[in-house]
Amino acid sequence: MRSIWRTLDRDLARDIGLVCLADCLVGVSYGAIAVSSGFPLWMPMLLSLLVFAGASQFMFVGIVASGGNPLAAVVAGLLVNARHVPFGFAVGDALGTRWTARIAGSHLMIDESVAFALAQKDAHRRRAAYWACGIGLFVCWNLGVLAGAFAGTAISDTAVFGLDAAFPAVLLALVLPSLKDRAARLPVLLGVVVALATTPFLPAGLPVLLALVGVLAGLAAKEPGERRRDLAEAR
């Protein structure tokens, strides 16, 4: 593990630190929203430790708080997290070979840790970025949720402070830089269109999964040689 931290350069460590700070603030918003919505103080903390998936946690709280069935909220969360299946193929080499490391690494597999890993050119930096980002976000997220949960006992309306917009704002900030790449624009825009078009008609979680057709479109648009190289890197 020590070699992982030594592999990080200053710029990469700074970028990871900024994302950890942003996610800590999102964690504050999640904890405050959950407790102010009527959940007990321990619930957002337990979900953050065991689930550690911001989108699924927000979805669970939103569905149950609006009167939905908790089982439906769990199923919706699982559907959203189904995107981790292709994530696992893409960054499987960063998790290591020992089963303990692979279990721990799978728990740390979130959008940000995968994005940082895939942005690295060599295997050592990919592994370092994945673990540094995953561990940093796990600590910062849970500290933020802890602070937000206690704050939620004193805040009656989280929308007044704009806390409900923190999570989508962070996701948007992660997506926008990728739009500079022409090859990335088609999958992103197609995924957005599919998700927006199907959201009024499908249960929560399914539009996100259908948006993955953007990834398939991006692969189909590449030259055969590029497509084989991407698939080889994913393995």
Burial 23-58 (b: 16+ CB within 10 A, else e): bbbbbbbbbbbbbbbebeeebbbebbeeebbbbbbb
pLDDT score of 231: 42
pLDDT tens digits for range 198-217: 877 776 556 766 776 776 77
- Percentage of residues in the chain having pLDDT higher than 90: 7
pLDDT score of 158: 56
More confident: 88 or 45: 45
pLDDT score of 146: 92
pLDDT score of 205: 56
pLDDT score of 159: 57
Residue pair 49/195 in contact by the 8 Å Cβ criterion: no
Confidence of residue 143 (pLDDT cuts 50, 70, 90): very high
Q: What is the mean pLDDT of the chain?
A: 76
Q: CA–CA separation, 124 vs 100, rounded Å?
A: 19
Average pLDDT over residues 136-164: 77
Answer whether residue 233 shows pLDDT above 50. no
Average pLDDT over residues 176-195: 73
Average pLDDT over residues 26-42: 86
More confident: 199 or 170: 199
pLDDT score of 228: 47
pLDDT tens digits for range 218-230: 666 655 545 445 4
* Most confidently modeled range among 101-115, 174-188, 190-204: 101-115
Structural domain spans, the chain: 2-179, 181-235
- Percentage of residues in the chain having pLDDT higher than 70: 72
Q: CA–CA separation, 149 vs 105, rounded Å?
A: 26
Confidence of residue 234 (pLDDT cuts 50, 70, 90): very low
